[in-house]
Structure formats: C-alpha cells, structure tokens
Amino acid sequence: MPYKTNQLARLPPELKYYIAEFVNCKDVKPYPYIPLFKNIILNWYNKYRAWDNSGIVYRQYKDIYDKGISEDETPFLKFAFNWHRQESKYYNINMVHSVGQFEKIACRTRTIPWNGMDRR
C-alpha cells in the first residue's frame, strides 16, 4: 500500500456521496478560451454575414445565439479562427462591443506555435 493515498478514495462509494453532501464545492470555472471564441464569432458575424441583410449590429454573442446561425454560414465560420490566428501575430486584438468588431493595434511580430509549446 503506497504511503500517500487519499483517505477519501479508500472509503466505500455510499459514504463518499454522503460526505460530499456536506462539503462546499468550488464553482466550476469556465474555460479561458470560451470568451475569445465567442468574440471571434461575433466579429466574423458582424463583418461577413451574407445571408442576413437586416443591417443589425450584434453587440453580444447571446444575440447571435438567440437568432441562430444558418446552415449556409457555418462552413465559412472556420475561416474566422484562421484569420484571428494570423492577425494576432501582428496586432493586439481587442473586442469593441459597441461596434461588435475587433480593434487592431499594431505590435511587434511574435511567433505563436500551434500547440502552445515553443519550438526548439
């Protein structure tokens, strides 16, 4: 038996669930990239939507989510992520929600690896 075992792990399942009822759990934090994905979709939809001629500027992702993105537009959505990846090498990109689009500020070129690890 290893000397560093969790005492809770050795308990029977019924007792674990009973103890868990009285233990305060931390709120589950959302993934950090979800707001970025929502902003990329919002920017793309306000710039390039072809099947919506209403002229409405969507200021939040929730507005697009409530309306729904049509099947005709979803194949083109993948280009928004490639665009953001390419442009983020040369610009600091910030979302301006009053306009519903990104604001680009020029910066020094930086290499951003695909897998999050430095190339050596």
* pLDDT classification of 73: cutoffs 50, 70, 90: confident
CA proximity to 41, closest of 26, 71, 62, 17: 62
**Percent of the chain predicted with pLDDT > 90:** 25
Residue identified by tokens 């589950």 is: 28
Is the model's pLDDT at 96 over the cut of 60?
yes
pLDDT of residue 107: 86
pLDDT of residue 11: 86
Return d(Cα 64, Cα 53) in angstroms, integer. Answer: 14
